[in-house]
Structure 1
């Protein structure tokens, strides 16, 4: 056995000695790469009642420092009240949709609604976050009504002052490693403004702003002191439910911060318009109390500026009527053949023996440029009531006598958007609209022509007869606001989107300057959308969000 061991050893030496020798490579000292993806988290702080302009004037130290790495706005659209702002902030829906205004957080009753109908309800942001992410949530507010409204957070401490809210927020942030989203509410600024005014020159208001800013600094320090902060990626939103008071809210502000962000002021830029391009997109006056029903004798004028991108056969785009069929009642504008506009009126449901009467082939306007379309109706005598069509101030087609159509009042709402017309195709009109005006007088041609490009509607010679004026340039949420002394707002419904048209201004529009190739008008409803976006939660159509996750426009800054 000894001889065999010696032979094996000799063979081993022989094998190793026959290998070619290479020099040893230089040592390489590589740093270990941290492949941990930072966890995204959200902190929202609302300083209720803080007006954007006054925040700018005071420029408190902590918020001013945040702005250096933020997307920010000092003219966030005012909400309707304390509760309305908070419901929008947490549900992503506009006041026009959720209709919550009073401090009890109950929806306004619709006097004309079905008392047994379903009540719209919208889930809050915490509900979505905990559905899709395994994180803890918190709401810290000294307002009992808000705490009673938001009941599904993991932490909702009972506090009665802003100081206690700050301390509780600091404690939760410092001790809860699984915390994913926290909303903090301060109320003292709004209370201080009620004593001397919501202006920086009021010492009470200014001091409350500075104190709230101090609390903001305390909370931010708590975030940075978390043991896991190095592996976290926080979106910080400092905002308000509205500026000013609960009774008279004004525009607020929004600061959206992350260390990777470059500073950018969020403003509406150029012209913004809703794109009507499907069967569901519409703007209506839900209830006009008969204001826009013109009966059998009322003189009136309707004018709207429109930009068509396509030709769609028999597609209505503006109406105060039912669908155009055997029982047509009301008035309607629609695209007929080869993109021509047709206007019609009828009163079948009001006893008119004849069907609708048309003014056809008014003109082809499907050229993707703005045109001003006008309709006047004037009672001449006991047998003549004349409907006249204009395009860009020029009479088009042959005026029609609609006297024998009797009353053209309709139970249907005033509507921008599609209605059915005989022979409708499945190709929907694609158009933008602006500057819808309704007068309760019939304007003459010189007046129409002279005021197509009028930018201050109060200077119109017939302003006292204006019963509706919708510029349609809000760029946010779901309401066209009526700017006339009389009239009602219009509600946007269906699948709609605001599009940025840059310097493609309609005639008569007061032009917002082009400040950027990105147009962002901010609202309180954006807070929920930004929160879900940051938490990598897809905002689905069924969420009914009006708020915009506009950080998508800046992803090259923070997505590496």
Structure 2
């Protein structure tokens, strides 16, 4: 077999199926070998065909006409798709409610309660989610973010209706929707489309379509759960929302009953897709956050066929993803004292006698034993003396001293060679200025620092004086002109800030310390307060698990569950439509494992 024939099958992000043969082998021998195996994946079966076959003549359907509801169906016309879209239905709520028909479907399906409408940080609306689900690409390609579909270019990003029309010719594709915008914008090339007044009418029309016609694709769009959730909330404690989901589940039961009552059902092979377009509420995903925590993206999705082996898919354990990056190491001793200094604006770090502030950073100390209370971050002419403040190491913990006020005790081990998060808030009320000190998401101590003016002209600095032994790395130093609430501090001190963060405009300076070389520590707040590295600063790459930090999460963690972009890929494969890389689909192929009968 040639190298080309060995790579002729490609099922994945550029999913397509090409099967060729060179030397004819009687099909009855191949068929007999298939049916001696009870459970095979599609890939395994097609792989077996490729091994037996060569690479010049088109391959024909090897499965006998007497066997129906197969999952290969290589072109015999029996493959059909029923695609049910449930707007605004959160996967977590479906899991909690366990609706009768959807739950039954999961017993013969690839399914997930942790599905995602979008694995990127794109703005999410009904229109954007629908477009993703019908084109197989997200906003970065289809450009739809608003409910008015502005930016949609169906020539550049055709829908499944268009692709099926172009690829299969004169087959019937149907769109039955409760939302006019869905049909008017996305079902242009459907053979037939109906826009109806409510979900009950959609259900009745789908039942009628399945009972009287011969469609290859039926798309049904239900909108009542989205209406209920938008009005009263997308939770299990919202009766109108849960009732709408239960009603849709009943409609699904009636539709499946009509599907199985088709006179030709025994000779057909249906893929049933049931999917939320999005979850509930306002899209809150922002770079640096965990998309799984953005419940507007949480969806339910199932690929169902009576021959599928049940395959549940859950989100990965985000808490066990490594914190990865590069950070400057400040290792001082009797002969060196590397620093980062903000000499260009010595007002930054002055907290005056009024106003509210928040400061936070991440630090890893790997010095081990130390003496002499080594400092590491300060706004003070000399560490430990004069007006200002400084963080220093007291015994094995971090402490914070404001000149003329009680020292805030960290009371938590810092020198364990692990990343920790630190933050303070300063809140002014009359003559009282309360400072609260947080470590690793816990309020450790608080004190009234009073209205003493500690402002000075010393540069904000990181790094100790000569003669003090230190070895620590720092990330994500941020100073805000607002005092966050305890919950806001705990959330934000764990993450890396992005421009979409609600407090980003309150930043006085933000230094991620992402540099891998050079002398500039960039301020990315937009205020231009860059710091300057001096001395032998080392830039150290790291990758480690930290329970105290929510690390930047790669898209791989979000594509571990079914996404809206994945749906067209399986639909095309099911209908035996080749998907060339030129289409630019962004989804991946969910390969079902199927149970085949024995002879």
Q: Is the 8 A contact 2:141 2:157 kept in 1?
A: no
Indicate the residue corresponding to 2:218 in structure 1: 182
Indicate the residue corresponding to 2:312 in structure 1: 265
- How does 1:149-548 map onto structure 2 within 5 Å? 149-150=185-186, 151-177=188-214, 179-245=215-281, 249-269=296-316, 305=325, 378=341, 444=463, 449=473, 486=504, 506-508=544-546, 520-548=560-588
Structure 1 residues 462 and 243: alpha-carbon distance in aligned structure 2, compared to 1, 3 A threshold: closer
Q: State the Cα distance separating 1:86 from its structure 2 match.
A: 0.1
Q: Is the 8 A contact 1:261 1:558 kept in 2?
A: no
Q: Which runs of 5+ in 1 are unaligned?
A: 1-31, 109-117, 273-302, 307-332, 334-342, 344-374, 383-391, 395-434, 436-440, 453-457, 471-480, 489-503
Q: State the Cα distance separating 1:536 from its structure 2 match.
A: 2.2
Q: Is the 8 A contact 1:84 1:95 kept in 2?
A: yes
Indicate the residue corresponding to 2:141 in structure 1: 97
CA distance in 2, matches of 1:158, 1:519: 33
Aligned match of 2:164 in 101, 107, 129?
Answer: 129
Indicate the residue corresponding to 1:34 in structure 2: 66
Q: Is the 8 A contact 1:90 1:528 kept in 2?
A: yes
CA distance in 1, matches of 2:141, 2:230: 29
Indicate the residue corresponding to 2:113 in structure 1: 74
Structure 1 residues 141 and 556: alpha-carbon distance in aligned structure 2, compared to 1, 3 A threshold: closer
Q: Is the 8 A contact 1:76 1:252 kept in 2?
A: yes
Indicate the residue corresponding to 2:28 in structure 1: none
Q: Secondary structure at the match of 2:564?
A: coil
- Alignment deviations for residues 441-462 of structure 1 (CA, whole Å, 9 cap, x no partner): 986596853779xxxxx99x99
TM-score by length of 2: 0.48
Q: Secondary structure at the match of 2:110?
A: strand
Q: Which runs of 5+ in 2 are unaligned?
A: 1-63, 119-123, 285-295, 329-337, 346-363, 367-418, 420-459, 465-469, 477-485, 511-541
Q: State the Cα distance separating 1:214 from its structure 2 match.
A: 0.8
- Alignment deviations for residues 102-136 of structure 1 (CA, whole Å, 9 cap, x no partner): 2211129xxxxxxxxx9993111111122222421
CA distance in 1, matches of 2:301, 2:133: 12
Indicate the residue corresponding to 2:392 in structure 1: none
CA distance in 1, matches of 2:597, 2:580: 22
Q: State the Cα distance separating 1:154 from its structure 2 match.
A: 0.4
CA distance in 1, matches of 2:597, 2:317: 28
Q: Secondary structure at the match of 1:54?
A: helix
Structure 1 residues 211 and 33: alpha-carbon distance in aligned structure 2, compared to 1, 3 A threshold: closer
Q: Secondary structure at the match of 2:315?
A: coil
Aligned match of 1:48 in 87, 104, 114?
Answer: 87
TM-score by length of 1: 0.51
What is the aligned-residue RMSD (CA, Å)?
A: 4.8
CA distance in 2, matches of 1:511, 1:69: 36
Q: State the Cα distance separating 1:537 from its structure 2 match.
A: 2.1
Structure 1 residues 225 and 88: alpha-carbon distance in aligned structure 2, compared to 1, 3 A threshold: same
Aligned length: 340
CA distance in 2, matches of 1:59, 1:126: 32
Indicate the residue corresponding to 1:85 in structure 2: 129
CA distance in 1, matches of 2:92, 2:492: 33
Stretches of 4+ aligned residues off by more than 6 angstroms: 461-467, 481-484
Higher relative contact order (CA 8 A, sep 6+): 2
Q: Is the 8 A contact 1:195 1:204 kept in 2?
A: no
CA distance in 1, matches of 2:226, 2:543: 38
Indicate the residue corresponding to 1:293 in structure 2: none
CA distance in 2, matches of 1:225, 1:136: 19
Q: Is the 8 A contact 1:56 1:74 kept in 2?
A: yes
CA distance in 2, matches of 1:447, 1:534: 58
Indicate the residue corresponding to 1:282 in structure 2: none
Indicate the residue corresponding to 1:297 in structure 2: none
Structure 1 residues 450 and 235: alpha-carbon distance in aligned structure 2, compared to 1, 3 A threshold: same
Q: Is the 8 A contact 1:467 1:485 kept in 2?
A: no
Structure 1 residues 484 and 521: alpha-carbon distance in aligned structure 2, compared to 1, 3 A threshold: farther
